[in-house]
Every structure is written in C-alpha cells, then in structure tokens.
Amino acid sequence: MSGAATTFSGYERALVAADAAVDAELTQVGPGTPGGEYLRRFWHPVALSTEVKDLARAIRILGEDLVVFRDRSGRVGLLHRNCSHRRASLEFGIVAERGIRCCYHGWLYDVDGRILETPGEPATSTIKDNLRHGAYPAREYKGLVFAYLGPAAAIPPFPIYDTLDQPDDELVPYAIDYPCNWLQVNENPMDPFHSVFLHTRVTRAHFSPAWGALPIVAWHRMADDTGIVLTNTRRWNDYVWIRTAEWLAPNFAQPPDIYQDPDREKFFVRVAITKWHVPVDDTHCRILAWRHFSPSLDAGGRGNKGGVGLDKVDFIGQSGTERSYDEAQRLPGDYEAQVSQGPITVHALEQFGETDRGIALLRRMIREGIRVVKSGATPPRPALNADGLVPTNAGDVIFRVPRSNDDDALRRRLGDAVGRIVVESMALARAERQATVEHRVKELLAATVPGRG
C-alpha cells in the first residue's frame, strides 16, 4: 500500500496482514532456536515456592516439558518430565528422601539427573552409571524457585539485585499466566506512555490522576549493554515527578511505586515490583515477581498483601481470572492490552511513533544478544556494587519546583540530570547511594531553581 491514506481500507489492510509473518528470531523460545538459546544463558524464576509442595508439579518453560519437585530432604529439583526408561511422566513420580521415583518401574532420579536406582534390572546393570536424566540447576530465593536451562559449562552466577536487600521491605511473591508470546509482555515496562492512557485517561485512573500527566521520556542504553534505563518526567501541580525505570536483558524489570502520589518531596524511593516475563512456549508466558511492601511505599495505604499470590496481584487488569469479560471490556488493563495483540503479535503490522523508541531499542538489544550467543560469545553481565549485589536504577524522585515559562525545557533538563545522578551512583553501597542521590539532587535544585539555594 502506498500513497495517501484512504477510508474504508479494510480489504487492502487484510491483504497486507495475510502476507505478514511473525518475527521468529525474537519470538521463538524452544531448544535450538536462536532466541531460545539466548534466553537459556540466564537464570529465570519458574514457579512459586508455594506451588512446590509434597507432590511433583508439571510445568513448561522455554518450550520444554519439565517437572519441579521438592524431595523429602527439602531440595528442589527440575527434571525433564518423561522418565528416561519408558517415558512415563514424573509428575506422577513419588517424592523420595533423595530425589524422585518414577511410578512405572521405580527408577530413582536425583535432583542433578543422576540415576540412583534401577530396580528390576540385574545387579550387574551399568545403566545408572552410563546414563543421566535431563536436569537443570534450581534454587529457591525468597519464595520463588529459579532455574538455569542452559549449557552447564556456561552457567552464570545467580544474580541478587539491590532492591531485594532493603531494610523494612517485605517481598510477597506472585505469578500470573498470560496466553501470549513473552515479548509483548516483556516490552510493557519500556512504554511509560501506556500509563497515561491505559491506566488513566482512556477509562479512569487505575492508580492516581497524576499518572495522566503527559511525561517527557528519555531512554538510555546502559553503558555495559545489559539493559535500558529511562527517565519519565511529569509535572503535577507544583511538583516535578521524575520516575527512573529499567529493563535488564532479557526479561527483568522493576516499576517504582505503583501507588505513588507526587504530593511531597521524595528522593529515590525504590521499587514496588521486581518481575520477570518468563516464556512458557511461543504462545504463552508467565510473570513471576515480588510485590514490595515497605513504609517508604504507598503512602495512601492502597496496597493489599492478601491480594498478591497465585494468579493475582493487588492492582487492576493484571490477570485473566479476576474479572468477567464484560468488566474487562469496560475497564481494560495490561492483561487485556497485551493478550489481545494475539498469541504472537506481528511486528510488520505495527505503526511505530515517537513514543515507541523504548520498544524499538529493547527489540534491538534482544536481537543483538541473540546474535552474540549465536556467534559463540557470552552475553554481557552487570557488574556488582559495593554490597556485592546487582545495582538497579528504578525509583521516584519528587521535588517542589514552581512552573516556569518554558516548563518542558526545565523538566527535560531536570529529568536528564537526575537520571545521570542515579546511574552514576550505581556502584555505591545501598545507604551511601541513597544519601548521595539525595545530596546531589538537592545540589542540582539549588543551582537550577531560584529560591532553592
């Protein structure tokens, strides 16, 4: 199609759609696919700890059928689902003191895939010495079960992020299933403009009316190529609200306080959610995450710990089970917007605008990471801070600044400057970083805003 846009162009658009194909490089996740091989170089959460009880649980991750279980000694195992002997599913296995035993012929598997017993075979059998069942390293951390599904020789250190080790911060785990490709859910944190419209202007304010203020947004590729940091700068009455957010490759993101009200000064209040968008297969994914509850978050007390868990979280429009179809149509949320794009959205049919720069950058960085792994190299890993943790950048900085004649330019300058302060302090220990950000922001205001000196 070319030339000027015409009305009633459904026929022509349908012909274009019929010829369009999904971007397989970015959306396929199974073993041996370029995207699947890239994703397998990282740790991913695969289940809530509360889902792994006294019975094995069948799960699907990165296009593989697996079974996760906790043996009687408390160890968590993640094995290929079908027994190496005659292919019976280990979801019906019997959990043992050490490992899990197949129900069909009693073969006993350890959490690392070693075969401990092959009952019924001759005492001279060497099967258990010469065969290993498919298994992946797994570990629990604060209510989530994580696993590494890549080659054993390339296993990276297990990453612990700085936002997971804060005083007076309670982490409540949750999991939500999405019947769509992982990428269209993974992109959402790099689209702050959707919060203006989906979460505020189109229906009603899901969080706070201040979210409807149109932001000035800048996306920055991290210097070590591990992800993207953005600054999202709004004006609300006498306050400038600068929200820093981030995405770390391939599927990690942290939104700051979802119930934030820019009605008082705050200096780098940290995150409300730490989450991963984990591919189940090409047409399904799962958010596995923590909601954060602390005295520094949610000043209005709108959060609800009891509303956080399996297939639920305490804000609207995040699950396909919380509401009727009629209710979802009247007040759609992230779930409806992302799932309704289809099982795998077709990028060739999208029309990007200026507000989509972050999405374009995210896709480009994932594609680069895929090709790095395809070349035989290792994707970049973030450096640790002085506390030995992976430093992150998401948070809220809010301060009183009178509206100026050129307020957009002022907001842009302040947003850029605060973003630099946050990034430049990443290597510091937590307490020192918090003090440094506040001190430098106040210095910035004294030098920029009349009467703040």
Give pLDDT tens digits along the chain (453 positions).
456 778 888 888 888 888 889 999 999 999 999 999 999 999 999 999 999 999 999 999 999 999 999 999 999 999 999 999 999 999 999 999 999 999 999 999 999 999 999 999 999 999 999 999 999 999 999 999 999 999 999 999 999 999 999 999 999 999 999 999 999 999 999 999 888 878 888 887 788 888 888 899 999 999 999 999 999 999 999 999 999 999 999 999 999 999 999 999 999 999 999 999 999 999 999 999 999 999 999 999 999 999 999 999 999 888 999 899 999 888 888 999 999 999 999 999 888 999 999 999 999 999 999 999 999 999 999 999 999 999 999 999 999 998 888 999 999 999 999 999 999 999 999 999 999 999 999 999 999 887 776
Question: What is the C-alpha separation between 331 and 324, in angstroms, rounded?
Answer: 11
Question: What is the C-alpha separation between 35 and 283, in angstroms, rounded?
Answer: 14
Q: What pLDDT score does 2 carry? A: 52
Q: What pLDDT score does 242 carry? A: 97
- DSSP symbols for 162-178: GGGS-TT-EEEEEEEEE
Question: What is the C-alpha separation between 138 and 70, in angstroms, rounded?
Answer: 11
22 close to 35: Cβ distance less than 8 angstroms: no
Q: What pLDDT score does 11 carry? A: 84
Backbone angles phi, psi at 389, to 5 degrees: -115, 160
- Span(s) in the chain for CATH 2.102.10.10: 44-151
Segments in 234-317 forming alpha helices (H): none
Is residue 279 reached through a cis peptide bond, with omega within 30 degrees of 0 on the bond before it? no
Closest to 42 (Cα-Cα) out of 204, 231, 276: 276
Does the predicted model carry a pTM greater than 0.85? yes
Q: What pLDDT score does 3 carry? A: 61
| Largest distance between two CA atoms of the chain | 88
Q: What is the DSSP letter of 211?
A: G
Domain topology for 44-151: Rieske Iron-sulfur Protein (2.102.10)
